[in-house]
Amino acid sequence: MALVGNPNSGKTTLFNALTGMRQKVGNYPGVTVEWKEGIFYSQHGHPIRILDLPGSYSLNARSPDEKILVEALLGRIPVLPEPTAVICCVDASNLERNLYMATQVIELGLPTVVALNMMDVAEKRGLKIDIPHLQKRLGVPVIPCEAARAKGIMELRLALSQHPLPLPTLKMEKPGLIHEAVSELLPVLPARKDRNSVLARGEARLMLSSDEDPGLGGPVWTRVLLWQQRFDREMPGWRSEWITSRYAWIGDLMRESVKRFNPNKPSLTERLDNILLHPWVGFPVLAMVMGILFYCIFTLAVPFMDALDGLISWTGFQVGGLLPDGELRNLVVDGIFGGVGGVVVFLPQILFLFFFIALLESTGYMARAAFILDRLMSKVGLHGRSFIPLLSSYACAVPGIMATRTIESVKDRLVTILVAPFMTCSARLPVYLVMIAAMLPDGPGNALKKSLMLLFLYFLGTAVALLFAWFFRKTLLRGPSLSMVMELPPYRMPRWDSIFHEMLDRAWMFLKRAGTIIFALSILLWFLMNYPKGAAPESDPVPPEAGTVQTVQQDDFSIEDSFAGKLGHGLEPLFAPLGYDWRITVGIISSFAAREVFVSTMAIVYRVDAEEESSLVDAFRHSTRPDGSRLFTPLTCFSVLIFFVFALQCISTVAVVRRETQTWRWPLFQFAYMFAFAWLMSFLVFQGGQLLGYN
């Protein structure tokens, strides 16, 4: 069975209620970009495979995700079987809008059950729906439910357990010419076992209103174009007339089936939106919300970070005590616990970040943020739908770039892909946090400064993304931007179970990344920084200045002679104008595998021992250059931060851009222009800061 519905209709929540699987639930369009799959059991114990397909407002496919929906319903996707039935999730509180797509789905002819979701929201809006009459007119079973509270799920299971499910009996009058065209198209449709089936007729009707070749062969599309030309001659304005007639039919159905109480009383959502979406109030409120979010990251998460850091140090001490002195012990303590532990310690702050993001999504405020920022984005030539991929990129650029499939315009989609990595993803957060901590010492009032610095970095990445989007729309990718209608869901109480599961999923993804990619890279980096073994110096090096980390100074000879040291020294001239030495250069190069690997690399370079109380921040604060001057001055730290704000330091992002654009041209261009811009900005920051005396 295929599960379909409008965005914000509660489709994914219904999927969770039926299958018991956890899926990301968001209050804005574009969350479900690709299908999700699960199993639920009928009342007779038979397993039923269910596919959660992308949300859409109609079956007139324009964007890639809408095409996935149509092709899956029509059985055109090779890896998926043709569905035997459809579950159409409809938002009862926005029934008229949802019925447009619902009637299109029913007209395809597949056995369909309408899940009338969010009945509680409809009642709060003063709506009373005549379910029996609605069911009679639609010609399919209609089951009222509240998926978020699991109400009506048992009745829905009973309706889906019928065998066989009845075929729809919906009848909408169509011009006689339409029936003639459908009859002529049926014989040429490929891959239809029963060319006279109801689904075949539904597919033919759908193609007649399509603007794009569905890829079923030249003869099919040629016939469609010929019929469209005949429609233009004999039924001028037929496209808009089809839409108008469908809405007219739905309007009649609404008048017959829905009664409204207190129609003039504004809802709580409307009263709140009058304030939160006000042109002069909306943006300051959004900025305040984001500021509170980042301040909490630096205050509430600190005790948990300290506890986790202590646990990692204690575990490293215990494991190190079980091993004899030698290379294996150094690998485990310095390479694994020092490298992986240096990243894992930031887990509490990442969890707090995603807690607040999930909270904003669950309450419905995230869609308001999209609406507020859409005014700004339209001025730089970005499509309004671009906000959702850019917002997703705050978590990770990979799903953000995949979410651009919701954008209809090819040029708008490509511009969004090119600027999405500027949005500060969670992988940058460990780098930001450790560099800000080294830049601003602990003390009264510095928590506010750190949160403002973090907020500034997020703002800077977003501002530059919009700047480059404007530049690309004016130069490389000129063209008009399509308008967008954005739906604002009602405000809801947060669903704590969904928020909790979202945090668990994020924690698991982060730990899985730390236990696989970062674990493997930590071992590789430890090897590159410890081999080949060099001869010990004949005389002791010059004693370090007071306050420097002695372990770093004593081990510099062997590290510099290692493979990683030679690589760092070889590339040091490229990064020296930015204020970086060979050690920072090694961290920059290794972070291309994953941005947060920079932290674990520096932990290994500076021999941050998991058995001791020393921290990477302390090592940064006491690290010196060969002339004895401080390496990680506030200016150097800021230069590193600027580089990570702008540089594309993620091989996974390059790979997904290659997959989405089907060419190496755009990912290579993206990497080159972002690296060049990051280098230039860091150069201006460091060299300009020195000229101004901030050394």
Residue 195: strand, helix, or coil:
coil
pLDDT of residue 611: 44
pLDDT for res 196: 47
Higher pLDDT, 249 or 550: 249
**Each residue of 327-340: pLDDT tens digit?**
787 777 766 776 67
Please state, in angstroms and rounded to a whole number, the distance separating the CA atoms of residues 602 and 342. Answer: 9
Q: Rounded distance, CA 442 to CA 446, Å?
A: 6
What pLDDT does 513 receive?
65
10 Å CB burial of residue 82 (0-12, 13-18, 19+) is middle
At 454, which amino acid appears? L
**What value does the mean pLDDT take over residues 311-322?**
82
Mean pLDDT of 143-171: 89
Spatial separation of the C-alpha atoms in residues 574 and 508, rounded to whole Å: 37
Where residue 411 falls among pLDDT bands split at 50, 70, 90?
confident
- Between 90 and 293, whose confidence is greater? 90
Q: Is the pTM for the entire model greater than 0.85?
A: no
DSSP 75-115: T--TTSPPPS-EEEEEEGGGHHHHHHHHHHHHHT-S-EEEE
Q: What is the pLDDT of residues 4-57, one digit of tens each?
A: 998 888 888 899 888 876 455 444 444 444 567 888 888 888 888 888 888 888
Q: Which of 695, 602, 685, 590 is nearest to 645 (CA)?
A: 685
Residues making up the chain, counted from first to last: 695
Alpha-carbon gap, residue 429 to 238, rounded angstroms: 53
The predicted structure's pLDDT at residue 535: 46
pLDDT for the residue 265: 67
CB 507 within 8 A of CB 540: no
* Residue matched to tokens 């008229």: 96
> 104 exposed, middle or buried (CB, 10 Å; 0-12, 13-18, 19+)?
buried
- Check whether 293 has a pLDDT greater than 50: yes
**Cβ neighbours for 232, distance < 8 A, ≥ 6 positions apart:** 238
Q: What is the C-alpha separation between 518 and 510, in angstroms, rounded?
A: 10
- C-alpha distances (whole Å) from 12 to each of 6, 20, 292 are 11, 11, 30
Instruction: Give per-residue pLDDT as tens, 414-464.
Output: 998 999 999 888 778 889 988 998 888 776 667 788 888 988 998 899 899
Residue 524, pLDDT above cutoff 60: yes
Query: Does the domain formed by 2-160 have CATH 1.20.1250.20?
Result: no
Compute the radius of gyration of the chain from its Cα atoms: 29
Upstream peptide bond of 164 is cis (omega within 30 degrees of 0): yes
Q: What residue spans define the domains of the chain? A: 2-160, 176-260, 302-345+502-630
Report the sign of the C-alpha dihedral through residues 213, 218, 223, 227, in that order: positive
pLDDT for the residue numbered 518? 67
Phi, psi of 96 (to 5 degrees): -60, -45
How much is the mean pLDDT over the chain?
A: 80
Residue 31: what pLDDT?
45
